[in-house]
């Protein structure tokens, strides 16, 4: 098997990028791995004229097992890589990095930097009628209480019920969208909400949207009624559009250069699994070393 080649962007290419008008510059999207492609998918739908530079830090995933200091360092290196491509906005499409590093990063850069937790929480706060909201995510995200704090900062009367659903990540990457195993695991996880009277459920992990059909069917069955399912990727894309419009940075050109995808390891696996998350082929994946950024 031919080894992946670590490539750095040629200086001439970067000079060309920096010569672009502000609105023509790309959006940078960063995730610790593959799941952030569900955010890319929604950005592509809501902002079809925008170019995207995506970086998945697949060499160092998962971030959830790392210290806050390490997560901030990894996130900073990845964001510096995106800045080298002259992006006009950075979306941190990783719940762990959003919880730990968003404010740290946003205060360092002049361009807008947004995460996935605040938009998802805002949508849930506006949807709920019972003021009882469920959150599902990885163990690390749930333990961070980031969604709980954000929701209650928006409305102190909201009661939050959280459930870690860590097995949804490998199930999503297997592509078992409505497999019998998926439905049984979903039932096991989501039955804890039976007596909570939630009317809204936030998918607090970027892997979960590709399992949305199984999650929706299961939570509706458990609750005995329809429950609003919040996809933070959709809400983040909406917020990105609003910020770019307000800043006069929307790209209104009908011609768009291809999106670019970078990873720090395993590009072939990223292309194979990523197609399920993006909903289309993930072409031209390049392997890069971001550990040198900021040195």
Q: Which residues of the chain are in CATH 3.40.50.1860 domains? A: 11-115+234-287, 118-232
HSE at residue 268, side-chain half, CA atoms within 13 A, is: 5
- Per the CB < 8 A criterion, the answer to whether 233 and 39 are in contact is yes
Task: Pick the closest to residue 249 from 19, 14, 21, 15 (CA basis).
Answer: 21
Q: What is the DSSP letter of 20?
A: S
141 φ, ψ (degrees, to nearest 5): -65, -45
48 φ, ψ (degrees, to nearest 5): -65, -20
Class at the top of the CATH hierarchy for domain 118-232: alpha beta
The contacts of residue 93 (CB under 8 Å, 6+ apart) are 29, 30, 31, 35, 36, 38, 39, 40, 116, 206, 233, 236
Q: Which residues are catalytic?
A: 94, 205
**pLDDT tier at 294, thresholds 50, 70, 90:** low
- Per the CB < 8 A criterion, the answer to whether 1 and 21 are in contact is no
Q: What is the DSSP letter of 250?
A: -
Give pLDDT, residue 140.
Answer: 87
Q: Return d(Cα 170, Cα 104) in angstroms, integer.
A: 30
Task: Pick the closest to residue 96 from 40, 153, 32 (CA basis).
Answer: 32
pLDDT digits (tens, 9 = 90+) for 166-222: 999 999 999 999 899 999 999 999 999 999 999 999 999 999 999 999 999 999 999
For residue 135, give the 3-state DSSP assignment. Answer: strand
Q: Which residues pair with 286 in a beta bridge?
A: 262
The contacts of residue 139 (CB under 8 Å, 6+ apart) are 64, 164, 166
Q: Are strands 132-137 and 89-92 parallel, antiparallel or unpaired?
A: unpaired
pTM score of the predicted model: 0.90
Class at the top of the CATH hierarchy for domain 11-115+234-287: alpha beta
pLDDT digits (tens, 9 = 90+) for 64-89: 889 999 999 999 999 999 999 999 99
Angle between helices 68-83 and 95-106 (to 10 degrees): 70
> Which of the two residues, 20 and 166, has the higher pLDDT score?
166
Q: Return d(Cα 145, Cα 150) in angstroms, integer.
A: 9
Strands (E) located in the chain:
27-31, 52-56, 89-92, 113-114, 132-137, 159-164, 200-203, 228-231, 260-263, 285-287
- How high is the mean pLDDT of the chain? 91
Q: Where is average pLDDT lowest: 88-97, 102-111, 137-146, 250-259?
A: 250-259
């Amino acid at each position: 098997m031919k080894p992946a080649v670590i490539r750095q962007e040629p200086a001439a290419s970067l000079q060309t990028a920096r010569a672009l008008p502000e609105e023509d510059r790309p959006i940078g999207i960063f995730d610790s791995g593959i799941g952030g492609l569900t955010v890319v998918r929604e950005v592509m739908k809501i902002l079809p004229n925008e170019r995207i530079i995506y970086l998945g830090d697949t060499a160092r995933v998962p971030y959830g097992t790392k210290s806050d200091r390490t997560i901030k360092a990894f996130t900073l290196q990845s964001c510096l890589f995106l800045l080298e491509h002259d992006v006009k906005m950075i979306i941190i499409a990783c719940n762990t990095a959003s919880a730990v590093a968003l404010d740290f990063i946003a205060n360092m850069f002049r361009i807008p930097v947004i995460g996935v937790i605040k938009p998802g929480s805002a949508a849930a706060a506006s949807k709920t009628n019972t003021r009882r909201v469920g959150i599902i995510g990885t163990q690390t995200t749930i333990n961070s209480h980031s969604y709980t704090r954000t929701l209650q900062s928006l409305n102190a009367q909201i009661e939050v019920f959280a459930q870690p659903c860590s097995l949804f990540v490998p199930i999503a990457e297997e592509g078992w969208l409505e497999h019998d195993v998926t439905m049984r695991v979903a039932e096991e996880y989501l039955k804890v909400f039976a007596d909570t009277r939630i009317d809204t459920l936030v998918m607090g992990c970027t892997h979960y949207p590709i399992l949305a059909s199984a999650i929706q069917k299961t939570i509706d069955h458990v609750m005995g009624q329809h429950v609003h399912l919040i996809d933070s990727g959709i809400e983040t894309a909406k917020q990105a559009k609003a910020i770019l419009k307000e800043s006069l940075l929307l790209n209104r050109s009908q011609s768009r250069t291809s999106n670019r995808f970078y990873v720090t390891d395993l590009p072939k696996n990223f292309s194979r699994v990523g197609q399920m998350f993006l909903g289309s082929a993930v072409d031209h994946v390049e392997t890069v070393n971001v550990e040198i950024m900021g040195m």
